[in-house]
Amino acid sequence: MFKKYLYIILFIVAIIGLSYVQYQYFRIGLNLAGTQFNENMGDAAKEIKNELKIKNELTFLVGSAISKDDLSFRLSMDSIQDASIYFMNEFLQDKLLEHGIKTGYGFSLYQKDSTAYLSSKDSFTDEDKLLRYPIILEGYLPDLLGKRLILELQFENVNRYFLSQLNGLTIPSIVFLFIIIFVIVWVYRAFYLQMNLITTTNEFINNLTHELKTPVFTIGVATKILQEKGHEDERELIGMIRKQVDKLKGQIDKVLELGSIERKRGFINKKEIDLKPMLIELSSNFEQVSKLENFEFSFDLKGESYMTMADEYHLENAINGLLENAKKYSREKAVIALEAYKEGKYLIIKVRDRGIGINADDLKKIFDKYYRVSDGDLHHAKGYGLGLNYVKRIVHLHKGKIEVESTVHEGSTFVLKIPLLKND
């Protein structure tokens, strides 16, 4: 679970980091575009200034317009002004294009501290955002007027112009970034669905094999009794059934084992669940076994429901293990009781037997892996010393506790404490 979130966080950090780097590149790009624009503008301004120094058709026309001298033309003053704006515009546009400046512009020809003589017709909406390039004119025109003349070039929305120049880079980088995000989210989702599928399949196999276990076990016990009590001529047949049942048991155990190997990664799979139905079923099954095998078993499950955060399958295995032990470690007819009740924040499950008991020294070690009490008497009880270790691990994985009380020759009581959900 932790790893899952770690990967998501790493992914988000990487994407944010990458976007930040892209953004910085983008800013550098904008700055470069700005610098280049200024350089080009500088060159263009120089050329414009040079060409307007001398008297030529354009400067003569402009000169006439601003000095309001219409003697040389058979035109009205307004037409002369319009014509000079038109030709000035053409001239400036050529110069700007020659220097690679393709954005919209305006111009204004004015004398310092006074109103403009000539202005391009385009009016700009936001005067504050205008980028202005003043060119102080020399030569013919200022000499004609005897005043300082300034030709100002104005550019609006240069940033948008720079952006359009950078679009070839920004749009692909945004598109690629989105493709990366999309692919990773998609792969992650597919992986997650696959994991879910594996878990569900595992759960299904576990449940199925588990469901098979009880009837097979009961058939086994029943045939064992039949074989002992039955007629001589039936025994062979019953023996065959027993053999096959044992085989089936072995197969089921194998599948269950496989399931737990698969489960190792998550090992237990807890969910909100009422344990009462499971305990009822488990007790009834064991009661059936007690009738067949002729021992005493009683159970008492107090309270309506036992809401816990639990892996039902493993807990059931653990309790079954305790019941099996109670049966296994009883000398004569076993007397076993299972009790469950709620106490404070815990569900208490007690498995009590009147069996051989465990002495104080061994009692400390019975939960250790492979530990078995080395009593000469006990050798009829088979085992590997793994059962109680498993029970303890499962209880701890449920944040619960396990306790045991025992007196030699009198019996033992195993107590499991499983935390209840707050609302139960």
- Assess 352 for contact with ligand ADP (CB under 6 A): no
Task: Give Cα separations from 309 to 268, 301, 422 (angstroms).
Answer: 11, 19, 10
416 binds ligand ADP (CB under 6 A): no
State which residue, 139 or 383, has the beta carbon closest to ligand ADP.
383
Using CB under 6 A as the binding rule, whether residue 325 contacts ligand ADP is answered as yes
The gap from C-alpha 265 to its chain's centroid, in whole angstroms, comes to 18
- 373 in contact with ligand ADP (CB under 6 A): yes
Please report whether residue 383 would count as binding ligand ADP according to CB under 6 A: yes
Helix segments in 230-311, DSSP class H: 232-263, 276-293
Amino acid, res. 40 = N
Residues 61, 63, 64, 65, CA torsion sign: positive
| Residues 418 and 315: beta-carbon distance below 8 Å | yes
Is 342 a binding residue for ligand ADP by CB under 6 A? The answer is: no
Instruction: For ligand ADP, give the closer residue by CB, 57 or 361.
Output: 361
- Asked if 405 touches ligand ADP (CB under 6 A), the answer is no
Q: How far is the CB of 383 from ligand ADP (least distance, A)?
A: 2
Helix, strand or coil, per DSSP, at residue 69: coil
* Residue span binding ligand ADP (CB under 6 A) among the ranges 86-94, 210-218, 220-228, 369-377: 369-377
DSSP 80-130: HHHHHHHHHHHHHHHHHHHTT--S-EEEEEEETTS-EEEE-S---S-GGG-
CA distance linking residue 315 with residue 329, whole number of Å: 21
Nearer to ligand ADP, 99 or 354 (CB): 354
Which of 106, 220, 259, 387 binds ligand ADP (CB under 6 A)? It is 387
Per the CB < 8 A criterion, the answer to whether 297 and 290 are in contact is yes
Q: Which is nearer to ligand ADP, 181 or 378 (CB)?
A: 378
User: Which residue number places its CB atom closest to ligand ADP?
Assistant: 383
**355 near ligand ADP, judged by CB under 6 A:** yes
Among the listed ranges 30-38, 189-197, 309-317, 348-356, the one in contact with ligand ADP (CB under 6 A) is: 348-356
Six-digit token string for 332: 């004569």
| 384 binds ligand ADP, rule: CB under 6 A | yes
Q: Judged by CB under 6 A, which of 41, 80, 141, 358 binds ligand ADP?
A: 358
Distance CA 58, CA 56 (A): 5
Which residues make up the interface to ligand ADP (CB under 6 A)? 325-326, 329, 353, 355-358, 366, 371-373, 383-389, 412
